[in-house]
Chains A and B, each alone.
Chain A
């Protein structure tokens, strides 16, 4: 692409001395630079991936004589992640004879509504607090705000205690979604536990599969 300056020799052969407009040809440099820019633009990763922190309770080992913590049955809400993005839930304790699984999904009117109905008091408190901060009625630093919300959650004693369980054919996506719901609705107490054989059979029944799970031999 460099310029080729052809000297005109045909006409009389009179060479005019060039007057000082000596210029550097920049085209190759520009070419190279646009290539490099394209390369860096395409390889640049602007957005960092996000992380979601979860803390699970410590496992109780078989040799340890520690009772798992007791929780109030009335506040317990069990959520079972099913196949095909289905969600089942039931309140209280699983009893094969009485418990009926309610089926719902991950839409805004699905499990979120169920959780919100039970967590309204705490949700309102957190929401009011955030509104006040937004309006400038409370002056607080970002870090302390997180702590204040944490404290609100800690003091809460009416919201549900959510136990999340996963059926064997559920997807990892469902697990992330349900934890996400916990943070959206502001559930103070939730944990992830193993699914029991009773619950597995309840899901099987809801899906129309013959119950296969058995009580573990003691």
Chain B
């Protein structure tokens, strides 16, 4: 028994140490395939997520150091713009969750106060991106103000119709973001194919 226990302990230690907990995605997204092999960066990242049903989600990280607390700062800025005061508790919840959200700022308070995932789901209607109330543009603006080093990721579902993606690209370009990273899955292709004369 002892060798087995030894092995188990080793394995357990290995898995505990390598485990990186990823917050649950706001929406299931099947990313398209590409040959790009650049791995995704860990921090200084804002992600615009486009789900299959054309809902737009947004996510931004806390920065390379936990004391930076970028997320609550961005939320506070956003609240200021819409005259919504967030309590410390709500800001802390927002900081800790680390997950993407597809909630309009008007619903954000109720969304943060909701206790269960089912309750939260009700508010996930996607971030408004129409020109009348373009909240995505403001999120991008404040994310870049709070963290100038932030990089833009677009994580779209393979089956999303292009006009929605185009809209998101336009919003980003309006905010002078011209460099994007598209999140994809690695696809093995035969490079020899391209060498045919």
Contacts and interface: CB of A to CB of B under 8 A. Distances in A.
Given A36-B12, A179-B182, A53 B38 contact: yes
B157 interface: yes
A177 B169 CA distance: 17
Contact of A180 (B2, B18, B34): B34
B118 interface: no
A112 B2 CA distance: 58
Interface stretch (A44-52, A70-78, A204-212): A44-52
A169 interface: yes
Interface of B: 1-2, 4-5, 8-9, 11-12, 15-16, 18-22, 31-41, 50, 153, 155-166, 169, 173-174, 176, 178-186, 189, 191, 193-196
B19 A49 contact: no
A157 interface: no
A174 B32 CA distance: 9
Nearest to A36: B12
A52 B153 CA distance: 9
Interface stretch (A2-10, A14-22, A54-62): A54-62
Interface in A192-210: none
A46 B20 CA distance: 9
B59 to A, nearest CB: 13
Nearest to B170: A59
Given A51-B40, A180-B36, A37 B11 contact: yes
A175 B162 contact: yes
Given A50-B37, A50-B38, A112-B193, A43 B169 contact: no
Given A49-B31, A55-B178, A172 B50 contact: yes
A171 B174 CA distance: 23
Nearest to A43: B19
Interface of A: 26, 29-30, 33-34, 36-37, 40-41, 43-59, 81, 108, 112, 116, 123, 127, 166-177, 179-180, 183-185
A45 B20 contact: yes
Contacts of B158: 171-173, 176
A7 B50 CA distance: 68
B159 A172 contact: yes
A176 to B, nearest CB: 4
Contact of B186 (A50, A112, A175): A50
22 contacts: A26-B2, A26-B5, A30-B5, A33-B8, A41-B15, A45-B22, A49-B39, A50-B186, A51-B41, A52-B181, A52-B184, A53-B181, A53-B182, A58-B176, A59-B174, A112-B194, A168-B161, A170-B162, A171-B162, A172-B164, A175-B162, A176-B182
B34 A33 contact: no
B184 A176 contact: yes
A51 B173 contact: no
B12 A50 contact: no
Interface centre among B15, B179, B181, B183 (most CB of A within 10 A): B15
Contacts of B180: 53-56
Contact of A59 (B9, B35, B166, B173): B173
Contacts of A26: 1-2, 5
